[in-house]
Amino acid sequence: MPVAGNVAIVGSAATVFGVHHELGYLDLLEDASRRAIEDAGLQNQDVEAAWLSTAVTDVVALEGESGSPITERLDFAPRPVTRVSAYCASGMEAVRNAAISIAAGEYEVVLAVGAEKMRDVTPRGSLVARTGNMTHPTLTKGRTGPGFFALLASRYLDTFNRTTDDLSAVAVKNHEHATRNPIAQYNEPVTAEQVRSSAMIADPLRVLDCTPTTDGAAAVVLASVEWAKKSGRPYAVLSGVGFSVMDGYYSGLYNPENDFLGFRATREASKVAYAQAGIHTPREQLDLVECHDCFTITEILNYEDLGLCGRGEGWKLLLDGATTIGGDIPVNLSGGLQSCGHPIGATGVRVVKEVADQMIGRAGGRQVAGAKHGVAHTLGGPGILSCVMVISAAE
Amino acid sequence: MPVAGNVAIVGSAATVFGVHHELGYLDLLEDASRRAIEDAGLQNQDVEAAWLSTAVTDVVALEGESGSPITERLDFAPRPVTRVSAYCASGMEAVRNAAISIAAGEYEVVLAVGAEKMRDVTPRGSLVARTGNMTHPTLTKGRTGPGFFALLASRYLDTFNRTTDDLSAVAVKNHEHATRNPIAQYNEPVTAEQVRSSAMIADPLRVLDCTPTTDGAAAVVLASVEWAKKSGRPYAVLSGVGFSVMDGYYSGLYNPENDFLGFRATREASKVAYAQAGIHTPREQLDLVECHDCFTITEILNYEDLGLCGRGEGWKLLLDGATTIGGDIPVNLSGGLQSCGHPIGATGVRVVKEVADQMIGRAGGRQVAGAKHGVAHTLGGPGILSCVMVISAAE
């Protein structure tokens, strides 16, 4: 049977996202996994297989290059564990592959977990240093994450005659949302003036336009909808899943079809996910979206790529308040990557958990009443790949 | 539907395994993939999704950390590509996950490809150097691949009162087999005396007890058995798939249940695969085996772990000639890792291709007449994980 409509999220958990010098990679992984399994009303032995997402294995050394960390900490032997990586979309790849195994009927109950330690690296181990060590030193001179997205921001502001105040509005909104999310790395509100006066990282992006560097883990337990129904416990349904890879890591930068005003990977992935889920008018049919706000500009571009508005109109959706809590299509109620941080392998699993929690009605102070359909989205690499999942309330 | 019995291998290809300073990672990947797709009578556009195995991304830098290399070279956009890694079993993880997607009916035709460049690294980029850089320098002093397997070899020879001549017999056999395999890195025979007098690497393992360092890629195309039947083209069937992860990367070394005379991961994985495929008496029912002979001792241990003989009897099976071409259970007719080399991400896909070719009856000079069931096996990390697939002839 296809994944769409047939696979349920029956348990989930996440660690607090933040600076965890006191906890190792295995500790984070174990905590999120055990609590997700408990949340499904199960024990470790009930879970038949697992998928692990870790994007950057430097901190966990050779251990993170297979699924064995799960085995080590969850008494999981001799079960299969698969490790996937897809840059910033890694977590959703773990969920997607785990979901496919449920759709196959190969397993009844599986775990998808993502974890990343990003605060235990020295400057020589940072993502920027790694880019230089593994590629060419000149690539670290500007072609960093902030540097790349700064170019998109400049182009967007110029093309649509906007100012950096629009970018600030994303940060202000998401930090306000995060005051309602106990696992967010930062849950104090910030003002537009604070964003505006924060340190410049890559013009026009300032510190408060960027996701922070973070440790964390998140896990979900998946089963068939049939199994979930029988369990009598709350669950959410994966009603559409699209994953799209558009270019090679560098080739996307030279793709003449790339206008650098959005990401085709997201447009293609959402096309697939929406078709499966019967979403024709996203802004009307969706109750909320969790999308990849690695930088403030990214969220505005995502509005457009996810079809919440036309191209060049994302800033308007934002300024109109439509994407703020209480608006007709709230985006990043969790606080997003801006406030939760972005432990790469964990993020995709966290956003799936966040939307599933909304569909189950247990999102606490940020709950959208009666939410029926939400989108979980991550964008990876230099925008070359993207995963979009439509997650729906149980019928 | 379950994977076992329902998923077919409908196309395959591999590059020559060897030293390819003239070809990059993307070149190898593209060559194997395009030819596997052609072998299935298809075009790139007919393939709906792909799984990529690359274990060590240092040479290909950041590009290898997602599935995007396939997209770049196969005009594959906007299709999904998943990257998996599981140490030396990475290739079979790509095949396994791809097979699950076919069983789910999520896709009709998918690609699984593995590639690795291992000859373009400087000494500072070698696996040994990496272990030191990513873990602790003392871990490179002896606890290398050869060092670890040398301890198992010593223990085995001591426990069962054998000599290094038994180890040499594995190398002699596999190099003899490789004379019939045009893609092997080395396809000249070697004598026992040559093995005995080759340079010592980690006592008792000499150069000719070890797999060489190699570049290469291999690819298979998977579809449902139903689809394969309709195609009217030759195919083989995945009749059993077991993947087992037993310990963490280091914790296996301290597991009190580990007797270092074999690998429980292989025993557990074969138990699952054999049960699915209805294999009760492996030596009688199997026509051939491709197993993970990263070192000569590993092949002898595999005989026992795969149930071809009792524990402590692997050397006898070997010396009796049962595992040599013409014997009743020939092992590593391809020449194995000893002769083909071991481009890590590619190996698991290559062994699946090798067994499938035997089941289709196109293994050339090394064909086992009328072969009905074969095993493809890889062992990963310090023996902590293993994949076993039973591959059968179409009925």
* pLDDT tens-digit series, residues A58-110: 777 778 899 999 999 999 999 999 999 999 999 999 999 999 999 999 999 99
For the segment B55-82, the average pLDDT, to the nearest whole number, is 90
Strand partners, B240: B390
- A177 falls in which pLDDT band (50, 70, 90)? very high
The pLDDT > 70 percentage for chain A reads: 99
What is the DSSP secondary structure assignment for residue A93, as one 8-state letter?
H
**Per-chain mean pLDDT for chain A:** 95
Question: Cα(B13)–Cα(B25) distance, rounded to whole angstroms?
Answer: 16
Strand partners, A84: A53, B84
For the segment B204-232, the average pLDDT, to the nearest whole number, is 97
User: Would an 8 Å CB–CB cutoff place B63 in contact with chain A?
Assistant: yes
Is the CATH number 3.40.47.10 carried by domain B7-122+214-236? yes
pLDDT value of position B131 = 76
| A2 and B106 Cβ atoms separated by less than 8 Å | yes
Residues 6 or more apart whose Cβ sits within 8 Å of residue A321 = A327
pLDDT value of position A250 = 87
Q: Do A71 and B1 touch (CB under 8 A)?
A: no
Element at B358 (helix H, strand E): helix B344-360
Q: Of B2, B79, B245, which is closest to A80 when you measure between CB atoms?
A: B245
- A253 falls in which pLDDT band (50, 70, 90)? confident
Question: Does the N-terminal peptide bond of residue B78 adopt cis geometry, omega within 30 degrees of 0?
Answer: yes
pLDDT at position B141 over 80: no
pLDDT at position B58 over 80: no
For the segment A371-388, the average pLDDT, to the nearest whole number, is 97
In B, which residues are within 8 Å of A127 by CB distance? none
Is the CATH number 3.40.47.10 carried by domain A7-122+214-235? yes
User: Would an 8 Å CB–CB cutoff place A206 in contact with chain B?
Assistant: no
ipTM of the complex: 0.97
pLDDT value of position B307 = 98
**Per-chain mean pLDDT for chain B:** 95
Chain B residues 100-129 within an 8 A CB cutoff of chain A: 100-101, 103-106
Q: Do A87 and B96 touch (CB under 8 A)?
A: no
Question: Cα(B6)–Cα(A370) distance, rounded to whole angstroms?
Answer: 41
pLDDT value of position A128 = 77
pLDDT at position B142 over 80: no
Q: Is A309 a catalytic residue?
A: no
- Domain(s) of CATH 3.40.47.10: residues in chain A: 7-122+214-235, 138-212+237-393
pLDDT value of position B121 = 79
Question: Cα(A331)–Cα(A287) distance, rounded to whole angstroms?
Answer: 9
User: Would an 8 Å CB–CB cutoff place B94 in contact with chain A?
Assistant: no
pLDDT at position B54 over 90: yes
For the segment B95-119, the average pLDDT, to the nearest whole number, is 97
pLDDT value of position B50 = 98
Q: Of B3, B131, B247, which is closest to A68 when you measure between CB atoms?
A: B247
pLDDT at position A392 over 90: yes
Is the CATH number 3.40.190.290 carried by domain A138-212+237-393? no
- Domain(s) of CATH 3.40.47.10: residues in chain B: 7-122+214-236, 143-210+239-393
- A380 falls in which pLDDT band (50, 70, 90)? very high
Question: Cα(B273)–Cα(B269) distance, rounded to whole angstroms?
Answer: 6
| A114 and A52 Cβ atoms separated by less than 8 Å | yes
pLDDT value of position A168 = 98
Is the CATH number 3.90.1300.10 carried by domain B143-210+239-393? no
Least confident of A136-150, A182-196, A267-281, B4-18: A136-150
Task: Tell which of B44, B63, B82 to mutate to test the A interface (max A CBs under 10 Å).
Answer: B82
State pLDDT tens for residues B292-314. 999 999 999 999 999 999 999 99
In B, which residues are within 8 Å of A384 by CB distance? 66, 68, 71
Nearest CA-CA distance, residue A266 and chain B, Å: 10
Q: Is B291 a catalytic residue?
A: no
Residues 6 or more apart whose Cβ sits within 8 Å of residue B3 = A104, A106, B96, B99, B100, B102, B103, B238, B241
| B176 and B186 Cβ atoms separated by less than 8 Å | no
pLDDT value of position A263 = 97
For the segment B91-97, the average pLDDT, to the nearest whole number, is 98
Chain A residue closest in CA terms to B381: A66
- A144 falls in which pLDDT band (50, 70, 90)? confident
Angle between helices B164-178 and B296-305 (to 10 degrees): 90
pLDDT value of position A105 = 97
For the segment B110-118, the average pLDDT, to the nearest whole number, is 96
The pLDDT > 90 percentage for chain B reads: 88
Residues 6 or more apart whose Cβ sits within 8 Å of residue B361 = B234, B367, B371, B393
